[in-house]
Structure 1
Amino acid sequence: MELEKLLQTIKSLLPKINVTNENISKASVGWHLEHSLLIINGSLKGLTMTNPQDYKPKFSIKKFVFLNFGMIPRGKIRAPKQFIPQEAPTKESIEKLLKLAKERLVNTQNLPAKSFITHPFLGDFDKKTTLRFLGLHTNHHLKIIDDILKK
């Protein structure tokens, strides 16, 4: 599963959490890792909290472009407060979120296909689309981290 590989990549970046490059991002590598894990954990938990019968997919051009081309403009979208790290990320805080993400990912395997989350800008994502979204979003932040580390 793609998300499992991305979680391994996040783990491999733990030694670099304090690296910054203001020309690329105001945030550190650790901030991007923790933000990604907060999104992953929140979304995977969200899948378990919705009633699949309430799933209402709607077409949107933004959703189509994002899911098919993975385009997220840098620095243009503000994350909801609950997905913004509140303190400077530590190796321990990231490891704790990483462990939780792995557990939650395993727990989603038996959820119905129509389990869903509601994205604040793009609407409802069923389970498969949620996992695709999480992969695209995490990759977006890993690309920013790559650029930060290119100093």
Structure 2
Amino acid sequence: MMKKIFAQLAEIENLKPFSHKKAPEISEASIGWHLEHSLLVISRILEGLPLSHPEKYQPKFSWAKFMVMTSGYIPRKKGKAPKFTIPTNENFLENIDNYLNSVRENLQMIKNLPSQSYIEHPYFGHLDVKQTLKFLKIHTQHHLKIARDILAKSH
């Protein structure tokens, strides 16, 4: 799972020069917004994992969680991003570089966490480390696909 996430980070880095590109018929947001949002989500989640109390981990069933985690697919325009994962300015290039560096460091750190360290997802409830990594991969793939579609449309 980690290999895939690192590959996605490399793709984010490769898409960075196209941050200004937009295709309103695909998304109101630019490629840069999708890249930075993806990195913000990864960053915030990785910051939260070590703060959890593994002994309080309580998984629960959710249809949304089951569908996304099983299919690996997030439908477009169905979820609402929490405020703390929404890019706040248009300085995408600098922000993306900063987040890429910190995310790469933080990914190394979670290798040493107890497996029942968790995050509280707004739709899925508690996600342990393994589920969290899977969600990050799925979520990042969702936004990379949108970014690729914008790039294809804007040529």
- In the superposition, the TM-score normalised over structure 1's length comes to 0.97
Shift of 1:46: 0.8
Partner of 1:145: 147
Q: Which 5+ residue runs of structure 1 have no aligned equivalent? A: none
Select the residue among 21, 31, 34 that pairs with 2:33. Answer: 31
Deviations 1:77-122 (A, max 9, x none): 1101000001114211110011010011011111111110010011
User: 1:3-42 residue pairs with structure 2 within 5 A?
Assistant: 3-42=5-44
Matched pairs, number: 151
Residue 47 (str. 1) matches residue 49 (str. 2): yes
Residue 127 (str. 1) matches residue 124 (str. 2): no
The answer to whether the Cα contact below 8 Å between 1:114 and 1:127 also exists between their aligned partners in 2 is: yes
The answer to whether the Cα contact below 8 Å between 2:64 and 2:124 also exists between their aligned partners in 1 is: yes
One-letter code of the match for 1:101?
V
One-letter code of the match for 1:108?
I
Shift of 1:48: 0.7
Superposition RMSD in Å: 0.8
Partner of 1:74: 76
The answer to whether the Cα contact below 8 Å between 1:34 and 1:89 also exists between their aligned partners in 2 is: no
One-letter code of the match for 2:23?
N
User: 1:109-124 residue pairs with structure 2 within 5 A?
Assistant: 109-124=111-126
Shift of 1:14: 1.1
Deviations 1:42-63 (A, max 9, x none): 1111111101101000112211
Question: Matches of 1:64 and 1:24 in 2, distance apart?
Answer: 26
Task: Report percent identity of matched pairs.
Answer: 46
Structure 1 consecutive aligned stretches of length 4 or more whose deviation exceeds 3 Å: none
Question: Matches of 2:91 and 2:29 in 1, distance apart?
Answer: 11
Question: Matches of 1:10 and 1:105 in 2, distance apart?
Answer: 16
